[in-house]
Structure 1
Amino acid sequence: MEKRSRTGTLYLKKGMIKYFVAALSLCLVLTGCGGSNGENGTNKPGANNITSEGNTNKENTDTGAKNSDTDKGSGEKVTLELWGWSGKFQTDFTKLVISEFEKEHPNIKVKYTVDQGGTDKLTTLIAGGTPPDVAILDRFMVGQWAAKGSLESLQQFVDIDDEVSADDYYPGPWAEANYKDQLYALPMSTDNRAIYYNKTLMREAGLDPEKPPLTITELDSMAEKIFKKTANGSGYEQVGFIPWMNQTYLYTQSWNFGGEWMKGEELTPNDPQIVKALEWMVGYAKKYDMAKINKFNDVMGKTGINPFWTGKVGFVVDGNWILNDLTSNAKVKPTFEWGVAPMPSADGYPQTTWAGGHSWVMPKGAKHPKEAWELMKFIGGYKGTLLWAKRADAGNDISAMPAVNDEMKISDNPKLKVFVDLMPVAHYRPVTPVGQKLWDETFRVQDLALNGKGEPKKLLDEVKKNVDNELKKLESK
């Protein structure tokens, strides 16, 4: 069956969408942390304009996607449990989004349950057969949870529901919500990374402040001119760039070097370009002295603010969320000129980024799957996402839906526009049952390499061996 968007644009057939997502995964190479946004207090960081229909007749309660397009005003009342963050998110989301859903679905009541104990608690509830109907989950974890059978597949619903389409989301977040050609989540939020540059320090170093680096070679050259040692030479008064500061680490730099963490079904942490990225990072540790850089980082840590806002860092990779540090009542008041641009890439490779974020999932064993889907496609769709984006303190959040971002005109902010424009080409961490293992391993070997405790190639070969062994263990269960 073919679908049309709200604007009348013809959608691809379902099989073609799957082919597109799979092909795109190879090109983009997850999640999330994963970026997260300020909604859950971590200082970090949806789909169709719809009116949901939902009959809850007794005989249809447990039939999954069947008969989902029924009269929303008829049938017995159902109470859904939604598992979410506490604090201001709970208050605002309930008031702005959940209340509107309940108005359109008078037969469905949403009970908001505060996340207590994180994913460990949610895992326990699923194992015990008492999960919530809908929950927030870092999109980075969707593949892993789907692989272990902790999530309900949403494919049965989306296959027959014209109100949800891959076309409504950015390619990366949508692909990250799929595992083995099955949809397991609806993207909720997203974020990505770019380079912040200090124009004042650039000018003082004799550089053109209106020309940020486009390539790694240019970045290295410019950074070198900005490094300045303390009077006694024991440390740094200011630094040009540190390849492991803030959002600059191996995952980030691997894509700047054209590396791929997964090719087909195979994990490739020892991809030659990823090795080159780690070797480049180690080069900074050697050239600028790891001990002196650590001393500088210790001083920055005592300021209590992001190092870039101290005016002592020439270039840093960070997310769109740090723009929220600049609100009128914030303690961050930059006294220097600065800008934002796409991250520099290795010579011959395009500038890119990677995105993380959260999602809405249906835990395995949800008691009311049909009604849960109605809730998910509202809060994770165009209407719910737009309602949330319109909140007063949305700041510099990026929606996972281009249409919502367009409606909110967030690209009118030139600095935020840099991030929005990168979303169509954003990479995402591999969708794999061992995603967390791979993530942890990369930081382990990065630390070893930077401190001279192993060669990048051998360390990344070790990562490859470890994640492959972990996969075999899971597959044998």
Structure 2
Amino acid sequence: MRKKKGATHLRRAMLKYLVTALSVCFVLTGCGGSGGSSGENGAKDTKGTDSTNQQTDTAKKNTDTGKGSGEKVTLELWGWGGKFQTDYTKIVISEFEKEHPNIKVKYIIDQGGTDKLTTLIAGGTPPDVAVLDRFMVGQWAAKGSLESLQPFVDAGDEVRADDYYPGVWAEANYKNQLYAMPFTTDNRALYYNKTLMKEAGLDPEKPPVTIAELDAMAEKMFKKTSNGSGYEQVGFIPWANQTYLYTQSWNFGGEWTNGEELTPNHPQIVKALEWMVSYAKKYDMSKINKFNDVMGKTGINSFWTGKVGFVVDGNWVLNDLTSNAKVKPTFEWGVAPMPSAEGYPQTTWAGGHSWVMPKGAKHPQEAWELLKFIGGYKGTLLWAKRADAGNDITTMPKVNEEIKITENPKLKVFVDLMPVAHYRPVTPVGQKLWDETFRVQDLALNGKGEPKKLLDEVKKNVDNELKKLESK
């Protein structure tokens, strides 16, 4: 799963967000007490099982040692391969093993993605720890594929909600239970071409703050090809790069949940989609598609071609300047928070990955020792300080401050938005909702349905999916 009317406006937005978060407490975010044991909907998990109680007892028995059972144990960690495996093992896992001489970590390269991991869990042979997109945590927890980490959190005080950004922590919780340790995060902001702004007669030091300002500025930057069949330059495309319905919904003040109910047809989400469609109609979807095809053939992010006035993208795009030899901008550019609809604060949305304990993990206490190391302060700091960390943002404000990433003014824009970052709904039908939003976005942009009716359809479909899951 962002941006501004000046510092004062942003501070007010942040205060508003934090007050709202506290008022709804366990409704949407995981902002509990020191254990931070909440998730979406605020519904308490009343299914307490004997196995969970036993896990709580085990956690309490081993809290004092902080080293697990003390027996020699080999943990299996399921993670990404390639350079990540090499670097992560050397930088983070090796340090964990030094601190826990009774625990050896066997690294297993992710082969087959979540499908393979699901099969291992179903077969009773899962790894002890695995990497998982944080947005999927709620769905996996709901279907019983993950071990709750709450018993371990309740048995000690090393893991606290306020050590993490609110949205990041909330996304790792489901129904008052922590199911994942946050690992990576990112968010979105507006990249703007100062050179094109100057050519259009605009002040390059004043990027748009509202949607209305964005529309007006972007209009001045569209230039058709000589034969009029397409565009050689565009101002803005509200479905390009990281600009899609989820992104724009929050810019318009949309809400995807209301208590326990999913609300993809929220009035402001409808307005966001209607606004996106207005671009498809005004600038001709076929012409924009031709432009996108040309950009795709360049092999680089369209913004770096110098042919795009404004684009919404993530902090990782800053890495193109050092890691991609093709990217050598010949124009002036900047980064700012995304424009929002009039009357709504500028914001962003964050995504990222997490570390989880799959259901049936053979060594739960030792797995927890690994989880709280790699997802906690020590592991996060070790990984953040690696030589090629680039423009990564960590999930922990304290680490970001310690490594001084805000000294990079462009990256600072993203970091400053993390406290108010939104996150995708923590729900058993998270993937279904995600897929549905893209389905209807495509239909709406291509004139195959009205936004309101399409989003009403999404609402019906996700509600039906929830009913099916609840009936099992």
TM-score, normalization by structure 2: 0.89
Aligned to 1:46: none
Aligned equivalents of 1:228, 1:252: Cα separation in 2: 26
* CA displacement at 1:330 relative to structure 2: 2.5
- Unmatched runs of 5 consecutive residues or more in structure 1: 1-16, 28-58
Q: 1:102 aligned to 2:97?
A: yes
Aligned to 1:320: 315
1:63 to 58, 65, 68: 58
* CA displacement at 1:71 relative to structure 2: 6.6
In the TM superposition, 1:114-153 aligns within 5 A as: 114-153=109-148
Aligned equivalents of 1:302, 1:87: Cα separation in 2: 27
CA contact (8 A) 2:68 2:365 kept: no
Aligned to 1:22: 26
Aligned to 1:220: 215
CA gap 1:180/1:329 in 2 versus in 1, 3 angstroms: closer
CA contact (8 A) 1:68 1:370 kept: no
Aligned equivalents of 1:20, 1:363: Cα separation in 2: 30
Pairs aligned (count): 430
CA contact (8 A) 2:79 2:109 kept: yes
CA contact (8 A) 2:27 2:259 kept: no
Aligned equivalents of 1:450, 1:328: Cα separation in 2: 34
1:295 to 285, 290, 306: 290
Any idea what the Cα deviations from partners look like across 1:419-461, whole Å, max 9, x if unmatched? 0000000000000000000000000000000000000000000
Aligned equivalents of 1:329, 1:420: Cα separation in 2: 23
Aligned to 1:191: 186
Any idea what the Cα deviations from partners look like across 1:252-294, whole Å, max 9, x if unmatched? 0000000001111100000000000000000000000000000
CA gap 1:278/1:369 in 2 versus in 1, 3 angstroms: same
Aligned equivalents of 1:268, 1:349: Cα separation in 2: 19
Aligned equivalents of 2:314, 2:73: Cα separation in 1: 40
1:249 to 241, 244, 258: 244
Aligned to 1:455: 450
Aligned to 2:50: none
Aligned equivalents of 1:339, 1:449: Cα separation in 2: 31
CA contact (8 A) 1:21 1:171 kept: no
Question: 2:227 is aligned with what amino acid?
Answer: N
In the TM superposition, 1:225-374 aligns within 5 A as: 225-327=220-322, 330-374=325-369
Any idea what the Cα deviations from partners look like across 1:207-254, whole Å, max 9, x if unmatched? 000000000000000000000111111110100000000000000000
* CA displacement at 1:331 relative to structure 2: 1.7
CA gap 1:307/1:314 in 2 versus in 1, 3 angstroms: same
Question: 1:298 is aligned with what amino acid?
Answer: D
Aligned equivalents of 2:153, 2:162: Cα separation in 1: 13
In the TM superposition, 1:366-405 aligns within 5 A as: 366-405=361-400
Question: 1:417 is aligned with what amino acid?
Answer: K
Question: 2:460 is aligned with what amino acid?
Answer: K
- Unmatched runs of 5 consecutive residues or more in structure 2: 1-20, 32-53
Any idea what the Cα deviations from partners look like across 1:330-384, whole Å, max 9, x if unmatched? 2200000000000000000000000000001000000110110000000000000
CA gap 1:121/1:328 in 2 versus in 1, 3 angstroms: closer
Aligned equivalents of 1:73, 1:154: Cα separation in 2: 14
CA contact (8 A) 2:30 2:173 kept: no
Aligned equivalents of 1:71, 1:183: Cα separation in 2: 19
CA contact (8 A) 2:224 2:232 kept: yes
* CA displacement at 1:21 relative to structure 2: 4.9
Aligned to 2:427: 432
* CA displacement at 1:171 relative to structure 2: 0.2
Aligned to 2:17: none
* CA displacement at 1:23 relative to structure 2: 4.8
Q: What percent identity do the matched residue pairs reach? A: 87
CA RMSD in angstroms comes to 1.9
Question: 2:300 is aligned with what amino acid?
Answer: I
CA gap 1:61/1:266 in 2 versus in 1, 3 angstroms: closer
Aligned equivalents of 1:96, 1:19: Cα separation in 2: 40
Shifted more, 321-330 versus 196-205: the winner is 321-330
TM-score, normalization by structure 1: 0.88
